[in-house]
Amino acid sequence: MDREQFWQLIEAARDQVPDPDDAEAVARRASSLLAERPVPEIVAAQQALWDVLAESYTNPLWAAAYLVNGGCSDDGFDYFRGWLVAQGREVFERVLADPDALAEMPAVRSSAQEWCELECEDVLGIAWSAHLTATGEQLPAGAFTITYPPLDPAWSFDFDDTGEMTRRLPRLAALQRD
């Protein structure tokens, strides 16, 4: 399974759940769909997922996640990116290009008003769960590698600096003030 096929899997899962904004439901459905595929595809899906996650490992997105979730640890950033993957390729790519575009999403606007975090750890386990369902075994050791790009030093500032966050992510920062 390559990246394109991975995104097709996510879109198929989104199409088959009652509420495509329910990231956990999307993750469960994607895992079920993946479990029906040949085992080598399931294993390859894990690499495709982590390649997508590595692509989204950026300081601007981390800063946006920090604003959206009221803080963001290393694990929290993984879970936020899991939530973002569950939103589908179009949203994922738009937000990677402009993290401040998150402010346009109804789920983000709602989370700002209700003080709830946008995270989905279940997305990180799509292939793991599918492999367990299909084979009764965990993914083989060494089934994937993670290579994160270096973080942009221009975004290496204290995310609690309200002025700097407002300057760099004005629409998201405005949601947090409302």
pLDDT of the residue at 177: 64
Tokens of 133: 């369902």
Residue 2, pLDDT > 80, answer yes
Amino acid at 49: L
Distance (Å, whole) CA 72 – CA 53: 16
Q: What is the pLDDT of residues 110-119, one digit of tens each?
A: 988 888 899 9
* DSSP H helical ranges for the chain: 3-16, 23-35, 39-55, 59-69, 74-86, 89-97, 106-114, 121-124, 126-135, 162-168, 170-177
Q: What is the pLDDT of residues 10-60, one digit of tens each?
A: 999 999 999 999 999 999 999 999 999 999 999 999 999 999 999 999 999
Does 128 score more than 80 pLDDT? yes
d(Cα 125, Cα 138) in Å, to the nearest integer? 11
| pLDDT at site 178 | 54
CA 86 – CA 120 distance, rounded (Å): 8
Identify the pLDDT of residue 16. 98
Q: What is the mean pLDDT of the chain?
A: 95
What pLDDT does residue 12 have?
Answer: 98
Question: pLDDT by residue (tens digit) across 76-90?
Answer: 999 999 999 999 999
